[in-house]
Amino acid sequence: MSRIAMTIAAFLFASVPLAQAADSAEEFYKGKTITYVVSTAPGGGYDTYGRLVARYMNKYMPDSKIIIRNIPGAGHVVGANTIYAAKPDGLTIGTFNTGLIYLQLLKESGVRFDLAKMSWIGKAASDTRVLVVSKSSGVKTVQELLDSSKPPIKLFAAGVGSAGYIDTRLAISALHLNVQLIPGYNGSEGTMSMLRGETQGTIGSQSSYTQFVDDGNGVYIMEAGGPADSKIPQAGQFAKDDNARQLLKMIAAESDVARLTAGPPGIPADRLALLRSIFMKAMADPQLLADAKKMDAPIAPATGEHVQQVIAEALQQTPQNLQLLTQAVKAGQ
């Protein structure tokens, strides 16, 4: 037997179980109902993305039914706990905030999940974290915030312990920014406070400030993570040492992985593979892209494998960085 024939035979032999596996996974999902958990109340960004993903995944699994279940509470923790504790049969998946990385690293009470062990199915978008300042602040570059001889500018953030607050604290610690952080601005109150001139800026997800900047009310002066071709200066270039860069990586991970979909640990490999491939098919669907555009919901998908890797890296922080993270949060207390 020639070597070529041997190779072909080996290839065929090897691919048989794979094909069988895909078949059996498809067989499994036939007639089944999949619950897609959204960790917020109906309405809002996570709900919009969750429903979009579920609807178009369902398009490629016509024999199954995907239903949405909103499980809000404790800033996505209740939803994530629910997904983590679900039976790993591939019939419960869902979405939550990437900022839960921080809560896990900080070992917050109430966290009953381990993100490193979850079955990652994919992510739908990137949501670059930016430092945006109002036009009335007069600030144009990050350098102006590094000069400690000037009076500090006021940045707002959501409540202490929120992902937005921790991002800002980490950036302040890493870059020694000369700013005063004022927490407690929820939802749209922060934008109002910038318009009023009461605060001068914030660190937050770019999508929340697109309109503010488009209306000519503010500018982005720095970003962490985000697309390679962006014209906004990267936070990393202002970092003076490796530790600072490592801290900024945590923010970048949040930027790169947003609107994720995951299931509990231990979903059978064939079912997970099927869910992952269907997720990517749904993300490429022209109709989904058209709908997303209409809803102002940018799409930048990545595979479950990629998400798994980014999350694992973000969770691997040195004890020194963990201490910095704890300090960053405790500084507000």
Partner 1 sequence: MDLHVIFSSLLGLLFTPKLLGLMLLAIPLGIFFGCVPGLGGKLGIVLLIPFVYGMDPLPGAVFLLSMHAIVHTGGIVPSILFGVPTNGPEAPLLADGYPLVRNGQAGRALGAALSAAGIGGMIGVVCLALILPVVEPFVLSFSPIEFFWLAIIGITLISALAGKMLVQGLIVGCFGWLIGMIGLDPQTGVQRYTFNQLFLWDGFDVISGVLALYALPEMMQLGRGKGKREAGMPEIKPEVTKYTFAEVWDGVKENFRHWGLTITTAVMGTFIGMIPGLGGEAAGWMCYAFAVSRSKDPERFGKGAIEGVIAPSTGMNAKEGGGLLPTLFFGVPAGSGMAIMLGALIMLGIKPGPLMIVHDLPLVWSLIWAIAISNLLCTVLLLIVGKHMSSIAHIRANVLVPVVLVFALLGTYLAKDHWESLLVFAGMGAIGYVMRRNHWPRPCFIIGLVLGPTAELSFHKAFALHGLTFLVQPTSLVMMSIIAVTLFFNLRKTYRRKPGVAAAAHPKPTGGSI
Could you tell me the smallest distance in angstroms from the CB atom of residue 287 to partner 1?
11
Q: Is residue 185 a contact partner of residue 193, using CB atoms and an 8 Å limit?
A: yes
Q: Is 152 in the site for partner 1 (CB under 8 A)?
A: no
| 75 binding partner 1? (CB under 8 A) | yes
Binding mask 229-268 for partner 1 (x = CB under 8 A): ----------------------------------------
Q: Please give the residues from 25 up to 44 whose contact with partner 1 meets the rule CB under 8 A.
A: 41-44
Residues 167 to 186 in contact with partner 1, rule: CB under 8 A: 180, 182-186
Q: Is 196 in the site for partner 1 (CB under 8 A)?
A: yes
* Residue in 35, 46, 48, 129 binding partner 1, rule: CB under 8 A: 48
Q: Of 109 and 149, which has the nearer Cβ to partner 1?
A: 109
Contacts of 191 by beta carbon, 8 Å cutoff, 6+ apart: 209, 212
Q: Give the integer Cα–Cα distance in Å for 68 and 85.
A: 17
DSSP bridge partners of 201: 133, 155
d(C-alpha 127, C-alpha 94), whole Å? 18
Kindly tell me which of 275 and 292 has the beta carbon lying closer to partner 1: 292
Binding of partner 1 by 193 (CB under 8 A) = yes
Smaller CB separation from partner 1, 23 or 296: 296
Q: Tell me the site size for partner 1, rule CB under 8 A.
A: 45
| Contacting residue, 215, 289, 316, 318, with partner 1 by CB under 8 A | 215
Taking CB under 8 A as the rule, does residue 305 contact partner 1?
Answer: no
Is residue 151 within the footprint of partner 1 (CB under 8 A)? no
Compute the least distance from the CB of residue 78 to partner 1, in Å: 5
CB 205 → partner 1: shortest distance, Å?
Answer: 15
Residue 188 CB, nearest approach to partner 1 (Å): 4
Please identify, using beta-carbon distances, which residue of 73 and 298 lies nearer to partner 1.
Answer: 73
Residue 154 in contact with partner 1, rule: CB under 8 A: yes
Compose the 276-295 pattern: x for residues touching partner 1 by CB under 8 A, - for all others.
------------------xx
**N-term to C-term CA, the chain:** 75
80-99 binders of partner 1 (CB under 8 A): 81
Tokens of 44: 């809002």
Residue 12: CB partners within 8 Å, gap ≥ 6?
none
Residue 109 Cβ, how far from partner 1 at the closest point, in Å?
A: 6
Residues facing 68 on adjacent strands: 36
Rounded least distance, CB 232 to partner 1, Å: 22
List residues binding partner 1 (CB under 8 A): 41-44, 48, 70-75, 77-78, 81, 109-110, 154, 159-161, 165, 180, 182-189, 191-193, 195-196, 198-199, 211, 215, 294-296, 329, 332-333
